[in-house]
Structure 1
């Protein structure tokens, strides 16, 4: 039995081009960022490559600031997680409460008592930044917006984000409601693991209640979706205190980057600075894909599970990042699985790690999971399987 549950180490030497040079550290001045004059008029900014999590540029990335409607990135993350777990269905109809309908600011003008599908409410949040749609979904998932906000803050702690605290699901002005450009990038990175989110955030215009008297035209608040090639999200924000904010993402070839700007004085300045960050990323860096999300990395034989052989897959796509024109090096990957398996195990539960290494130096650690839910086998199936194993070993 132990031989099937012991620590598994697999060394795979992959000839991919990658440098070992360090990328931009988390710095707070143009000098420390090698003189890069990116996002000069932002209070805070960051540029991140998604697969590796490498920070390519930052400015005051850990300064606590009001995130305005970029708050909804966390709201969207909890919605996508609920959809992925089957706790929410896109075709489910949600009845809008008086409270949700009363939300001010950006909205899709929901009426109290109106019923709208999760899919359309998700459009309302992702495209038009609807505060009413956000609260309607929050109430459905947690019973009240207050309970949902508690889940938002718990999720931030799980992501080890120390400089974020939410008071609502919308980003409307509130005391003690703050985040940072770094934390926003981390939440966006987690959200983008659910690739279907860009089916919503990449849409420039759409309609709700199509053909009805109260038809509503949705226009994306993120104009870069239309005017910057490859941008397919993610979320704008504005209040008089926060000024103009944007978390944007773009994917070119196999490289996806996330850019955050907070505290710009105008939408034009905000979009110009984000565009400059994206230009810098795509002009200076490129990635080499190692594995796609959910790709099989290895398998394991579990005697006590219903499935004798269990496929181990990645929880995210895996790449290496390097500056264009830099020296090529070989990459090794090492898989370490847990040595004790307590069944059942759910898809998405971490069961080990994939280490991407340059020699003895660990560059990245990526969680591994199982391809499907693993249930414990019955007593009689286990007995039969044990006998078969004994016969084979003779």
Structure 2
């Protein structure tokens, strides 16, 4: 009896272990072998055209982002009605390395500071730009956070314009790999200043002076990835003691554009880990994802119309034929991925029905990502079966008899 009891307890324990650990094992098994040894604690490979995350590793974990912050600073300034000239404050001049070396009261052309910001990652240039646009660093951070929400970032909080570790009453200065990739996607695909952003961040070297012409500066682009892979578009490095090495970059090969975002990708003596991870993720995207055509769904069942004029007789309800508004489209997919078509229609609609009236929606889904949606509409009009129609029909039948 005692032995049977212990056997039952043991069996129950084994069952519980299977229940709790099977999902984790199943999820782990989805990690491609070539991406199982990434250095970064958080990583994302994203399709820049759709915004779909093709691969993620702790992609929703909030971490410090270091100077990758500056892509948001850059795009905000580019999109603003920016003043042509910026004046440096004492606060800007006191920023730590890496720095341009501005002095209080000096004036610089805004465009020159953007090159300083993105090529050399100068912390003081970021503060000069922020203060001249918003008045204070805090006010500029508010603009950054507002923009992040507009882009669709749900786990990002900006405190500084340069990415130095910071904290305010709301949260730490941090983001997720998924959100960082979304911000880069906005910069290169959606922003009205996307071409200007790419022009600045792809420049190999840049020289300028302050407005007075008394001081000269030279900037070199430190984004080594630009020379590592064919089609490299842009990127931004970052490092702080809390964040470790970070990187966000984009690559275009053929008609496909990929974004990689890495957080906490090693610390000093492991500076090249970010390049190894970036190349590995980009190559995985190139090797495994191609554009496939998603055909529009053309065959749909007729939809019952309550109180509609029937095709024949008096007492029957009618049915309306349906059509889809939309065309076939291309979508980046892996070879083993399938398109799920989800049709949303009511059980019936009420008459009258106008031709072209929207009655439902059809969605195309790949791996839980909604690729797009088309409207389903009535292909013909249906009149309402009211008293006047019934009276007219009965009268017709009476005279026929």
**Alignment partners' CA distance in 2, 1:113 and 1:356:** 60
Q: Is 1:204 the equivalent of 2:204?
A: yes
Quote the RMSD (CA, aligned, Å). 3.3
Deviations 1:144-191 (A, max 9, x none): 111001111122223342221121111112231111111101111111
Tell me the residue number matched to 2:160: 168
Contact 2:53 2:178 in 1 (8 A): no
- Distance change in 2, residues 1:30/1:248 (3 Å): farther
Using the alignment, how far apart are the partners of 2:200 and 2:26 within structure 1? Answer: 34
TM-superposed CA distance for 1:28, in Å, is 11
Any idea what SS the aligned residue of 2:175 has?
Answer: coil
Unaligned runs of 5+ in 1: 1-26, 291-317, 331-354, 367-394
Query: Cα gap change, 1:245/1:319 in structure 2, threshold over 3 Å: closer, same or farther?
Result: farther
Aligned length: 283
The question of 1:143 aligning with 2:135 is answered yes
The counterpart of 1:279, out of the listed 263, 278, 283, is: 283
Please give the per-residue CA displacement for 1:112-142, whole angstroms capped at 9, x wherever unaligned. 2222111111111111111111111111211
TM-score of the superposed pair, with normalisation by structure 2: 0.63
Distance (Å, rounded) in 2 between the aligned partners of 1:229 and 1:214: 37
Spell out structure 1 runs of 4+ moving beyond 4 A: 27-30, 324-330, 355-359
| Aligned-residue offset at 1:275 | 0.9
Paired residue for 1:233? 234
**2:92 is equivalent to residue 88 of structure 1:** no
Contact 1:254 1:288 in 2 (8 A): no
- In structure 1, the residue matched to 2:309 is none
Task: Tell me which moved more, 224-233 or 186-195.
Answer: 224-233
- Give the deviation of 1:49 after TM superposition: 0.8
Matched with 2:95 is 103
* Aligned residue in 1 for 2:356: none
The answer on 1:183 being equivalent to 2:179 is yes
Contact kept, 8 Å, 1:39 with 1:261, in 2: the verdict is: no
> What TM-score results when the alignment is normalised by the length of structure 1?
0.64
Structure 1 residues 201 and 287: alpha-carbon distance in aligned structure 2, compared to 1, 3 A threshold: farther
Instruction: Assess if the C-alpha contact under 8 Å between 1:286 and 1:321 holds in 2.
Output: yes
1:67-89, CA deviations, whole angstroms, 9 ceiling, x for partnerless residues? Answer: 0111112212312321xxxx126
Q: Which residue of 1 aligns with 2:371?
A: 364
Deviations 1:188-215 (A, max 9, x none): 11111313211011122222329x6633
Deviations 1:7-37 (A, max 9, x none): xxxxxxxxxxxxxxxxxxxx99652324442
**1:31 equivalenced with 2:29 (yes/no):** yes
**Please, which runs of 5 or more residues in structure 2 have no aligned partner?**
1-24, 295-328, 342-360, 374-401
Higher Rg: 2
CA distance in 1, matches of 2:28, 2:144: 33
